[in-house]
């Protein structure tokens, strides 16, 4: 069994990591904001927002991909605006794959962070306010460190979801080797080719190793965070 | 309305989504956090059972009725076959359930035991693959249809402003006209339309200049959608597909028949699925009435060998 990776496998692996990291990094601020909104505030339309956030979880990924194509494609309303104002296209690029992965991972990130925010002791925040801290200071110095485990969980879930994202990606940005062909898409191409079982198994092994490595890394970081919170 | 197993269910190329399971487990976690430890265990057990049931449910699919004949057909034949199914039912044959996807996906599924009765491939290669694996009834195999390959562009797009050519030749300025845009094509690694497209581009000497500008899709209909939506500058699809959305796409030209393998659609009965109802439907597919429907959709039916 040849242990060195072929160029296609390296490209797929590198792209998967790049897309997943970008997806999580860009969704995180929005995820924290929306989770905080849903956990702490009451407002008309809150249930609607909650429903919209969970939509990518319930609707088939191909539908999400098609919606992205309609909105963010070159001829879509948002896509055309992005191109006119910023000169940026996301269609058929790794950025589009990152957008698709980020949207599919968003509900998981929000759920994890919201759970964490809801379990923060409001008394601690109130105490900080009585001692003179403004709301932003309270959030940064009290709330954020306390919800750090939840944010970490959200990031892990989001990263894992992005690594496995297939339907929305292939529908929105198609299967371009080197540009949008992440590991799941590469695996799909190979699985469709008859008599390519060996190549398929190699990609499966690579995907599993990547997932385990990510899990291991997150466990190490989670342990550090827990120690710091206790100490 | 004939029962239909549509491509979304049959095309299991998409990895299984464990979303319902994850939602149940997550929601159970949130609810359990509010209860004392003892009740939590019961809730956890209930949630686990529910999650397992949801995980297994898609696999325990509705079994096809004995009267249903299941046809796995290439995506490009979707419109014609659907019409022929309706026609067959009116003629008194058994109910037909068609499933459409790329021939590569269907061949793989049949090889892995999918309960198809008849297989219509867009490419001889995938029928040969199944024949090697003894997955089809060799005696029943026949060449059913012919098709042609065309280059299309969105209506009003850049390429559409070129005068239409009858046959695309070696000097066709494809790369130049793509001008930074992409060429939608079924994945040349496994989609028949993509394989023919790549053969044509290679034999016309156009492949090196456009290989880096492709948008490979999972099947030929997805490539058609991209052109229809104007997301790409051009696409390579079957002549029959271009005819379906004639209002939204312009046919720039046809690839000469000699630039690629002949596009032949073989059909065969799947091994072990031979029964009277299936043979009747198979014979109907080759009949004059079905041939008329195929012709109306732009295919060239191949007459049965005497």
Domain boundaries, chain A: 7-230
Q: Is residue B176 within 8 Å of residue B300, measured between CB atoms? A: no
Q: Is residue B254 within 8 Å of residue B149, measured between CB atoms? A: yes
CB contact (8 A) between residue A194 and residue B8: no
Residue B72 has what pLDDT?
Answer: 94
How many beta carbons lie within 10 A of that of residue A167, not counting itself? 22
Give the residues of chain A that fall short of pLDDT 70. Answer: 1-2, 231
Identity of the residue in B23, B190, B229 whose CB atom sits nearest the CB atom of A189: B190
Each residue's pLDDT tens digit, B38-48: 777 777 778 77
Residue B216 has what pLDDT?
Answer: 94
Query: Residue B52's pLDDT band (boundaries 50, 70, 90)?
Result: confident
Query: Residue B12's pLDDT band (boundaries 50, 70, 90)?
Result: very low
Best mutation target among A79, A174, A191, A200 (most B Cβ atoms within 10 Å) is A174
Nearest to A111 by CA among A64, A162, A150: A150
Q: Is residue B130 within 8 Å of residue B110, measured between CB atoms? A: yes
CB contact (8 A) between residue A175 and residue B187: yes
Residue B3 has pLDDT above 50, yes or no: no
Residue B21 has what pLDDT?
Answer: 64
Residue B15 has what pLDDT?
Answer: 43
Residue B20 has what pLDDT?
Answer: 65
Give this complex's ipTM: 0.74
Q: How far is CA B295 from CA A135, B193, B292, B303, in A?
A: 72, 19, 5, 12
CA distance linking residue A114 with residue A95, whole number of Å: 27
A169 touches chain B (CB under 8 A): no
Q: Is residue A24 within 8 Å of residue A162, measured between CB atoms? A: yes
**Chain A partners within 8 Å of B155 (Cβ):** none
CB contact (8 A) between residue B218 and residue A176: no
pTM score over 0.90: no
How many beta carbons lie within 10 A of that of residue A220, not counting itself? 10
Residue B202 has pLDDT above 90, yes or no: yes
Arithmetic mean of pLDDT over chain B: 83
Lateral strand order in the sheet of B96-101: B96-101, B69-74, B118-120, B264-269, B142-146, B300-301
Each residue's pLDDT tens digit, B84-135: 999 998 988 888 999 998 888 899 889 888 889 999 999 898 999 999 999 9
Each residue's pLDDT tens digit, A8-49: 899 999 999 999 999 999 999 999 999 999 999 999 999 999
CA distance linking residue B183 with residue B152, whole number of Å: 10
What is the rounded radius of gyration, in angstroms, for the C-alpha atoms of chain A? 20
How many beta carbons lie within 10 A of that of residue B115, not counting itself? 15
Residue B67 has what pLDDT?
Answer: 57
Q: How far is CA B25 from CA B19, B46, B176, in A?
A: 10, 10, 54
What is the second-level CATH architecture of the domain A7-230?
Answer: Orthogonal Bundle (1.10)
CB contact (8 A) between residue B108 and residue A108: no
Residue B14 has pLDDT above 60, yes or no: no
Q: Which residues contact B216 (CB under 8 A, 6 or more apart)?
A: A174, A175, A176, A177, B185, B186, B187, B188, B189, B191, B194
Best mutation target among A60, A192, A196, A200 (most B Cβ atoms within 10 Å) is A192
Mean pLDDT of the B176-203 span: 91
Min Cα–Cα distance to chain A from B280, Å: 30
């Amino acid at each position: 069994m040849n242990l060195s990776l072929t160029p296609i496998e390296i490209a797929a692996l590198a792209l998967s990591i790049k897309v997943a990291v970008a997806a999580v990094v860009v969704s995180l601020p929005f995820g924290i904001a929306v989770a905080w909104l849903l956990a702490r505030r009451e407002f008309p339309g809150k249930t609607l927002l909650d429903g919209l956030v969970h939509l990518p979880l319930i609707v088939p990924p191909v539908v999400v991909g098609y919606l992205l194509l309609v909105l963010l494609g070159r001829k879509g309303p948002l896509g055309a605006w992005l191109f006119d104002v910023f000169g940026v296209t996301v269609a058929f690029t790794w950025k589009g794959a990152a957008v698709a992965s980020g949207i599919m991972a968003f509900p998981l990130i929000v759920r994890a962070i919201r759970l964490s925010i809801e379990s923060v002791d409001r008394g601690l925040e109130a105490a900080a306010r009585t001692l003179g801290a403004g709301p932003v200071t309270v959030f940064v110095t009290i709330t954020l460190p306390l919800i750090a485990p939840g944010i970490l969980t959200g990031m892990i879930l989001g990263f894992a979801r992005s690594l496995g994202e297939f339907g929305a990606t292939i529908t929105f940005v198609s299967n371009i080797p080197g540009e949008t062909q992440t590991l799941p898409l590469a695996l799909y191409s190979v699985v469709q080719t008859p008599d390519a079982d060996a190549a398929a198994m190699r990609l499966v092994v690579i995907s599993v190793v990547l997932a385990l490595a990510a899990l291991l890394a997150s466990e190490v970081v989670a342990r550090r965070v827990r120690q710091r919170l206790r100490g | 309305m004939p029962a239909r197993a549509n491509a979304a269910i049959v095309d299991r190329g998409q990895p299984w989504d464990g979303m319902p399971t994850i939602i149940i487990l997550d929601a159970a976690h949130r609810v359990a956090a509010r209860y004392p430890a003892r009740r939590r265990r019961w809730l956890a057990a209930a949630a686990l059972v529910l999650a397992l049931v949801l995980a297994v449910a898609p696999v325990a699919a509705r079994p096809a009725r004995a009267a249903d004949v299941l046809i796995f057909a290439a995506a490009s034949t979707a419109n014609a076959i659907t019409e022929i199914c309706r026609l067959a039912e009116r003629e008194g044959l058994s109910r037909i359930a068609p499933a459409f996807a790329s021939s590569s996906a269907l061949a793989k599924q049949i090889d892995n035991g999918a309960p198809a009765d008849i297989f219509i491939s867009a490419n001889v290669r995938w029928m040969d693959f199944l024949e090697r694996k003894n997955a089809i009834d060799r005696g029943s195999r026949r060449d059913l249809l012919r098709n042609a390959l065309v280059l299309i562009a969105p209506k009003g797009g850049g390429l559409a402003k070129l005068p239409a050519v009858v046959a695309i030749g070696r000097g066709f300025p494809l790369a130049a006209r793509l001008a930074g845009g992409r060429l939608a094509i079924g994945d040349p690694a496994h989609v028949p339309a993509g394989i023919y497209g790549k053969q044509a581009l290679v034999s016309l000497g156009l492949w090196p200049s456009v290989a880096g500008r492709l948008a490979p899709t999972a099947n030929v209909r997805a490539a058609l959608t991209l052109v229809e939506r104007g997301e790409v500058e051009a696409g390579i699809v079957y002549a029959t597909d271009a005819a379906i959305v004639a209002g939204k796409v312009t046919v720039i030209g046809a690839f000469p028949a000699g630039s690629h393998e002949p596009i032949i659609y073989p059909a065969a009965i799947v091994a072990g699925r031979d029964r009277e109802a299936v043979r009747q439907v198979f014979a109907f597919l080759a009949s004059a009435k079905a041939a008329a429907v195929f012709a109306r959709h732009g295919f060239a039916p191949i007459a049965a060998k005497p």
